[in-house]
Amino acid sequence: MMERVFIATRGEIASRLVAWFKAQDPPVETVTMFSEVDAEQPWVDEADYSVYVPGSTVEETYANPSRVIGAAMDAGCDVIHPGYCFLAKHLGFFQAAANANIAVIGTSIPRLAAALNRGHIDAVCDKFAIDRIPSTSDLSETDDGIAEAAQLGFPLYVKASSGGKRVRVDRIEDLAVAIEAVRIVAEATTGNPAVYFQRVVDDMRTLATIVVADQHGACEALGHVDSSLRVDYRSWVESIGEGVVSEELAATLIDKAKAFTKGLDYAGLGRITWAITPRGGVYLLQFSPRMPIGYSLFEQALGVDLIRTQIRVQSGQHLDWEHADTTPKGHFLQIRVMHMDPLTGERPEGEITRFDVPEGVMVEQGTGIDQPANGLTDPLLCKITVSAPTRQAALVKAHSALEKLHIEGIPTNRDFLMQLLSDPEVWSGRLDTKTLGRMIAERQHPH
């Protein structure tokens, strides 16, 4: 039984969590947190109470375990929900919260530790014949990585072992700077500065499968979402349903996802990201033991409540649905509109003077009109989810929704998204992880 929950995140997921807990019977009291830059955001006032946390950067506030736990204790909360980012898989945060006698919605500490242990993951993959893209072990604090990089070959990614940050390196001269950049972000946001190298595979698609496992051995795999249209680790468009994967590939991914999750002895909600090569190779890229950023796409397409499911399995209850109950009917697209110059990636400071959203589709807003936007505010302005009987019809519907979306005062990727949805590679389904980067490069250096 929860009496008062602390929402340790911001943006549209904070609004969604507040609404969910308020809709319970009886309602659960909600407390949101906010930093200096988010003081006037709409989700702050949607909760029953709100708490100011000193600081302006993510590292000082939303990703700061001691400040979050201190604010939750001061607000009299007995549970924390970290949403899908920042602290959702920060092992030190879970441990500190347990020491403060506050529950965190996610998974147990031993299972989180196992899910973040790359050596353990490799052993599970070996046991169940699940392929992984070639990579190195975690580098020590004093290792410059030159020998490992030379053996793996360039180009490669320097990746945070705990996830959430990666840098592509094409030349050995750039290796040291990349390692330091990834370490700094990883330490600040997850408490784990460990990094490793992974070979770059450009001509691949990325697919995501949601897994849910209870504490009694039941495990279900949901999906599969194409997340190939991305820059670095941030997806611009995700799709699920008709035309995304063949029946044969879907069955393969379900079998591998269940075997991996059970082999990991995981209980909770998680996301497996797969790399699919043109010749049909299937490789496990990453397991993220938390709610996915595209949770609402899964919910709308599959008819499941992932917040309810996450809480049920953590509290020791049984899963009460099966994979057969969650087959998507039609095709679903989720479009992510962000504050950014799409050609440079920069986020110039400004104020949102207009924010008109389309009607007839699902829109989740992370901010609103008259709100500031800069390099410290949440870049995700809104998510638009559409559905249609076929993939092409969904693309047309999403394009129409973007035409009716009007955000003024700051640069966004809205116009670029409209071009992306009309691109021949995207329209035909021949897209991969190079598609979005290619389009950006073509517009940066037009012939």
CATH (domain of 54): 3.40.50.20
Domain that holds residue 228: 201-329
Q: Residues 139-148: contacts with CB within 8 Å, 24+ apart?
A: 139/179, 139/194, 139/195, 139/196, 139/197, 141/193, 144/175, 144/176, 144/179, 145/175, 145/179, 145/197, 146/172, 146/175, 148/197
Per-residue pLDDT at 323: 62
Per-residue pLDDT at 213: 96
Same domain, 217 and 321: yes
Task: Pick the last residue of a domain from 302, 329, 356.
Answer: 329
Q: Report CA torsion sign: 404, 405, 408, 414.
A: negative
Residue 296 belongs to a domain: yes
Same domain, 325 and 300: yes
Per-residue pLDDT at 444: 87
* Number of structural domains found in the chain: 4
Q: 56-68: per-residue pLDDT in tens?
A: 999 999 999 999 9
CATH number of residue 154's parent domain: 3.30.1490.20
Task: Pick the last residue of a domain from 263, 298, 329.
Answer: 329
Per-residue pLDDT at 325: 65
Same domain, 321 and 345: no
Same domain, 205 and 321: yes
Residue 127 belongs to a domain: no
Residue 119 belongs to a domain: no
Same domain, 189 and 221: no
Residue 123 belongs to a domain: no
Per-residue pLDDT at 363: 97
Per-residue pLDDT at 162: 82
Same domain, 17 and 94: yes
Same domain, 152 and 250: no
Same domain, 211 and 230: yes
What residues in the chain have per-residue pLDDT under 50?
none
Same domain, 318 and 215: yes
What gap in Å lies between CA 213 and CA 288, rounded to an integer?
14
pTM for this predicted structure: 0.93
Task: Pick the last residue of a domain from 105, 123, 150.
Answer: 105
